């Protein structure tokens, strides 16, 4: 319409009043819906409520592994034994299973390795680390049900915690314990949005991440006696 006014095809621009009449649209970052998460200071006590038993269900084991690795539900439920390097204590998730479509390596803490040693006896010949009777992948509702059954509260009043929310719990713990932002973002497999920065920053900070994930696991499991 501005083009029409400039060439005298129209005496005015009727669209110019739209911005004043319509409410301002939210930016993308303002439209993000945050998953209800467990406050990081409550996590060790909640871990005791969820995981302090001699024998855990597959769903609880998968949830604990998700917390220890700061992984996503789909990544954990789809984890296979050929992605796990037992001797190197590494979980290498292929790009095809990652949100960013890039290989993501996760250093496995001693706690995560102990959990995997318990899972080996329940593989039932399947390649899945966590399975339903050795026949199929766990459903997304399996982890949600664990949290709902135990009425695990979140940082959002009236809403139960979610499995995905534990990534935010980890992120807050890392910030509150003075871990650099980039270290925590790498652990969460978040992409660097700035193309120039991404081109020059090629390290995955592996050794520092291993130390951080071990300290995280110690914090998560510090109240467990089993």
Question: Domain count of the chain?
Answer: 1
Is the pLDDT at 198 greater than 50? The verdict is no
Given a cut of 70, whether residue 3 has pLDDT beyond it is no
Domain for residue 24, yes or no? no
Asked if residue 74 is part of any domain, the answer here is yes
CATH number for 117: 1.10.443.10
Q: Check whether 116 has a pLDDT greater than 90.
A: yes
* DSSP secondary structure code for residue 162 in this structure: -
pLDDT at 204 over 80: no
The phi-psi region of residue 100 (left if phi > 0; otherwise alpha if psi is between -120 and 50; otherwise beta) is alpha
What's the pTM? 0.82
In a domain, 81, yes or no: yes
Residue 131 resides in a domain: yes
H/E element, 104: strand 104-107
- Residue 226 inside a domain? The answer is no
Look at residue 53 and tell me whether its pLDDT is greater than 50.
yes
Q: What is the pLDDT of residue 30?
A: 42
| Bigger pLDDT: 204 vs 116 | 116
| Domain containing residue 165 | 34-221
Mean pLDDT of the chain: 87
pLDDT digits 0-9 by tens, 131-190: 988 888 999 899 999 999 999 999 999 898 999 999 999 999 999 999 999 999 999 998
Closest CA to 77 of 100, 90, 58, 94: 58
Which whole number is the average pLDDT over 215-226?
A: 95
Let me know: does 185 contact 193? Beta carbons within 8 Å.
no
| Domain annotation covers residue 47 | yes
Count of C-beta atoms within a 10 Å radius of residue 183: 14
């Amino acid at each position: 319409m501005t083009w029409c006014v400039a060439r005298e095809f129209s005496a005015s621009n009727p669209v110019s009043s739209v911005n004043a009449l319509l409410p301002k649209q939210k930016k993308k970052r303002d439209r993000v819906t945050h998953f209800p998460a467990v406050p990081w200071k409550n996590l060790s006590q909640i871990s005791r409520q969820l995981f302090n038993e001699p024998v855990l269900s597959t769903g609880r084991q998968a949830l604990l592994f998700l917390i220890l690795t700061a992984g996503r539900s789909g990544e954990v439920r789809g984890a296979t034994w050929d992605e796990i390097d037992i001797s190197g204590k590494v979980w290498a998730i292929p790009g095809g299973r990652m949100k960013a479509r890039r290989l993501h390596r996760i250093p496995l803490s001693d706690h995560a390795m102990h959990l995997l040693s318990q899972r080996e006896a329940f593989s039932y010949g399947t390649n899945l680390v966590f399975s339903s009777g050795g026949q199929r992948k766990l459903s997304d509702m399996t982890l949600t049900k664990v949290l709902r059954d135990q009425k695990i509260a979140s940082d959002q009043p009236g809403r139960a915690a979610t499995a995905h929310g534990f990534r935010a719990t980890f992120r807050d713990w890392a910030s509150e314990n003075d871990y650099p932002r980039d270290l925590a973002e790498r652990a969460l497999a978040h992409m660097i949005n700035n193309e120039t920065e991404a081109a020059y920053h090629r390290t995955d900070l592996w050794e520092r991440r291993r130390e951080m994930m071990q300290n995280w696991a110690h914090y998560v499991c510090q109240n467990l006696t089993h």
